């Protein structure tokens, strides 16, 4: 069965303390892996799409990487405004047209 | 602001009732997607329409249906509502047909079934 697992469930960091969020997946024929940011009570905001192992993308303090089994979202020197839930999702041949989301990591950055 | 609008923002109704949620995509986007987000199930893809035609189907119940109109706005109809249907319903839009295209999400409709 296709599965997307995110860890940790929650992460509290001090401002400036870099860390990584993990998204592991078990699907057949990955077409794309997505990262979204979601603020409380709002819709997800697109961050990145990664298509193949070895690919990396960066945006401000965020960098996403992809291997054949997992993706990492690295956050460098985070600020309080980076506090949000980060969602990972995949679309694969085995899931037909479905997009499967992980349960998210709630990130909190203390000033 | 993503440019995607959803109405209403909140909806409170009773079990067994039927409701309609409305979505207007960003200007120029031809695809509309519907998602359900609940505390226990997380974010789940329901269905995609592209230029009026159903394009992809996810975990959408038979009690739910959707359509996209010629002006590209979309409606999600939920019938015979159950307590478990209480959730946030998001609409997203994208330019093309592929689910891997960048999607822009609306602010959501919070449905409460009592």
Q: How confident is the model at residue B101 (pLDDT cuts 50, 70, 90)?
A: confident
pLDDT higher than threshold 70 for residue A4: yes
* Adjacent-strand bridge partners of A13: A109
Supply the pLDDT for residue A94.
Answer: 62
Supply the pLDDT for residue B37.
Answer: 95
* Rounded-to-integer distance, Cα B32 and Cα B25, Å: 7
What's the whole-number mean pLDDT along residues A26-39? 92
Phi-psi region of A29 (alpha: psi -120 to 50; beta: other; left: phi over 0): left
Nearest Cα residue in chain A from B42: A103
Q: Convert the pLDDT of each residue in B59-87 to its tens digit.
A: 899 999 999 999 999 999 999 999 999 99
Residues of B in contact with A44 (CB under 8 A): 43, 90, 92, 105
Supply the pLDDT for residue A68.
Answer: 92
Q: Convert the pLDDT of each residue in A64-101 to its tens digit.
A: 999 999 999 999 999 999 999 999 999 887 666 678 89
Nearest Cα residue in chain B from A104: B42
Mean pLDDT of chain A: 93
Calculated CA dihedral for residues B70, B71, B73, B79, nearest 10 degrees:
-40
Please choose, from the candidates A41, A40, A44, the residue with its C-alpha nearest in 3D space to the C-alpha of residue A89: A44
Largest CA distance in chain B: 38
């Amino acid at each position: 069965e296709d599965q997307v697992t995110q860890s940790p469930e929650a992460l509290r960091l001090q401002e400036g303390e870099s860390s990584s969020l993990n998204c592991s997946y078990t699907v057949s024929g990955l077409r794309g892996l997505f990262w979204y940011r979601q603020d409380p009570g709002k819709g997800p905001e697109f961050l990145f799409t990664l298509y193949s192992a070895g690919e990396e993308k960066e945006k401000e303090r965020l960098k996403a990487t992809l291997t054949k089994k997992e993706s990492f979202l690295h956050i460098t020197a985070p600020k309080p405004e980076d506090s949000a839930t980060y969602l990972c999702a995949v679309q694969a041949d085995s899931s037909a047209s479905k997009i499967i989301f992980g349960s998210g990591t709630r990130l909190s950055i203390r000033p | 602001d993503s440019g995607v609008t959803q109405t209403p923002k909140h909806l409170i109704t009773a079990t067994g009732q039927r409701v309609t949620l409305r979505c207007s995509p960003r200007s120029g986007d031809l695809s509309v997607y519907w998602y359900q987000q609940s505390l226990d199930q997380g974010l789940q893809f329901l269905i995609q329409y592209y230029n009026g035609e159903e394009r992809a189907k996810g975990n959408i119940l038979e009690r739910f249906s959707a359509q996209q109109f010629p002006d590209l706005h979309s409606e999600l109809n939920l019938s015979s509502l159950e307590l478990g249907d209480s959730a946030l319903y998001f609409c997203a839009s994208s330019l093309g047909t592929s689910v891997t295209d960048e999607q822009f999400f609306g602010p959501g409709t919070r449905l409460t079934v009592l």
